[in-house]
Structure 1
Amino acid sequence: MKFDDLDLKMRVYETAHDTQVLPGMYMVARIDGRGFTRLTKETHPFEAPFDVRFRDYMIATTEHLMNCGFKVIYGYTQSDEISLLFDLNETAFSRKHRKYTSILAGEASAQFSVLLGSVAAFDCRICELPNAGLVEDYFRWRNEDAHRNALNAHCYWRLRQGGATKAEATKRIEKISVAEKNELLFTLGVNFNELPLWQKRGTGIYWAEVEKEGFDVKQQTTVIVKRKQLCRNMELPMREAYNEFISGILNAG
């Protein structure tokens, strides 16, 4: 059998389940760390419940993904997860799911592993959202999840640091309200409201136009030029204000 015939025959099996994101649909990629509880608590014991080094690795990985060949207009990271919002008109790889999920998982795994100095892996999935309102709600959801996780993590680790076992700490915060968790932390010497916002709301990364000093070779003079660069926001708004923030990103994009 000639190679061209064999290639045509076998290619069908490779692409039989290819799916594409339809034009006009917003794409959001969700990239999650695989086995990161063990990685960050046993293999590489980061400070609990939050570690600035780990935060910076996740931010750097997010920025890498926003610069690896796709038109990403917003990146968001909290804990061991990253969410990327693509330009509505992104057409790379014909918008095939398998290309986005494989490339982004691979790029994230490689970048984080280099930063960590050890093997780390991520998985990826694509959310298809039919309108801007759902895009806002998606990021609002992840923002609120960050807040919930931060409250639980601070309660759990304060109890553990006070001598409670894993089971005791878990049981102590099970089924108690947000108000009760805040009160528990207060009795343990922590005012949750005063903790850094990046712990409670995650970090947003977006493109912004900035002025920089350049040199005009022809005129032999210093000039001010405008460039787009990634900006980090570690004090994200919450609730409706965050929806408005995402709306601004969409309109700017």
Structure 2
Amino acid sequence: MRFDDIDARMRVFETNHDHCVLPGLYIVARIDGRSFTRLTRERHPFEAPYDPRFRDLMLETVQHLMNCGFQAIYAYTQSDEISILFHPNESSFSRKERKFISILAGEASARFSLSLGDVAAFDARISLLPSQNLVIDYFRWRMEDASRNCLNGHCYWSLREEGISAGDATQQLKGMSNPQKHDLIFARGKNFNDLPSWQKRGSGVYWQEVSVSGVNPMTGQEKNTARRSLVTDIELPLGEPYEDLLASILLDGVANRSPILEDVK
């Protein structure tokens, strides 16, 4: 059988269920660590409930994903998850969902594994959002989840540090209200409001115009040029200021379709 004949006959089984994202929809990918509890507690015992070393590994992975070939305009990370917003006109791979999912999961797994020095894996999923308001709501949702996880994490590990077992600590927190959880850690010397912003709100990575100094090779004179570079924000604002930041990123990302890929930490 000729190759062209068998290729055409077999390829339909591979592509028959391809789903392509419709034009006009915003694509947000969420990439999550797989079995990271065991990875970060048993194989690599990071400090609990939060460790700046783990945060930095996640941020390195985010910066890599922002530069891996897609038109990403904003990324948000908290705990072991990453959410990435793409330019609304992103057309790579004809907007095939399976391509976004497989490439992003693979790129994240490879980058994090190289940084950690051990095998780590991520999975990925896609949200298709029809409006900017829903995009903003999506990232507000993930920030709310970060705040909830932060409070629960500090409560849980405060109890564990007192010698309470994992099962008993979980049971003690079950059904407890947020004010009660705030009181629990406050009684143990922690004020939730004083915790680092990146623990309570997560971190953002986005493109921003920065001034870069250089020398004109023809004249030898110093000059400043504007470049669009990646910046990392571990002090994200709350409420309306965060919504305003997201709205400005959406507007700026649409206006600047092809940023210069230069990472500024």
The bucket for the TM-score relative to the shorter chain is over 0.9
Deviation at 1:217, TM superposition (A): 1.7
Q: How much does 1:237 deviate?
A: 1.4
Matches within 5 A, 1:94-113: 94-113=94-113
TM-score (norm 2): 0.94
State the 4+ residue runs in structure 1 displaced beyond 4 angstroms. none
Q: Give the aligned partner of residue 114 of structure 1.
A: 114
SS in 2 for 1:228: strand
Specify the alignment match of 1:234 in structure 2: 234
C-alpha distance after superposition, 1:48-102 (max 9, x if no partner) = 0000100000001000000000110001000000000001111111100011100
Task: Kindly indicate whether residue 165 of structure 2 is the aligned counterpart of residue 165 of structure 1.
Answer: yes
Corresponding position: 1:79 with 2:79: yes
- Paired position in structure 2 for 1:12: 12
Task: Find the residue that maps to 1:14 and give its secondary structure.
Answer: helix
**CA drift at 1:121:** 0.1
Is there any run of 5+ residues in structure 1 with no aligned partner, and where? none
| Deviation of 1:176 (Å) | 0.9
**How many Å separate the matches in 2 of 1:220 and 1:44?**
51
- How much does 1:213 deviate? 1.1
Q: Distance in 2 between matches of 1:206 and 1:4?
A: 45
Q: CA deviation at 1:218?
A: 2.2
Residues 1:247 and 2:247 aligned together: yes
* 1:206, distance to aligned residue in structure 2 (A): 0.5
What is the aligned partner in structure 1 of residue 36 from structure 2? 36
Decide which moves more: 166-175 or 53-62: 166-175
Deviations 1:157-199 (A, max 9, x none): 0100011111111111111111110000011111111000000
One-letter identity of the residue aligned with 1:101? I
State the percentage of identical aligned residues. Answer: 58
**CA–CA distance in structure 1, aligned partners of residues 49 and 33 of structure 2:** 16
Query: 1:188-203 residue pairs with structure 2 within 5 A?
Result: 188-203=188-203
Alignment partner, residue 204 of structure 1: 204
Q: Which amino acid aligns with 1:252?
A: D
Partner of 2:131: 131
Distance 1:94 1:159 in 2: 50
Does residue 62 in structure 1 map to residue 80 in structure 2? no
Q: Secondary structure at the match of 1:160?
A: helix
Counterpart-to-counterpart distance in 1, 2:243 and 2:81: 20
TM-score w.r.t. length of structure 1: 0.98
For residues 110-161 of structure 1, the C-alpha deviation after alignment (integer angstroms, 9 at most, x for no partner) is 0000010000000001110000000000000000000000000000001000
Could you tell me how far 1:215 is from its partner in structure 2? 2.0
Q: CA deviation at 1:239?
A: 2.7
| 1:240 shift after superposition | 3.1
Residue 50 of structure 1 aligns with an amino acid whose one-letter code is Y
- Deviation larger for 239-248 or 43-52: 239-248
Encode CA deviations 1:206-233: one digit per residue, 9 max, x unaligned. Answer: 0001111112222232221111111111
**CA RMSD of the aligned region, Å?**
0.8
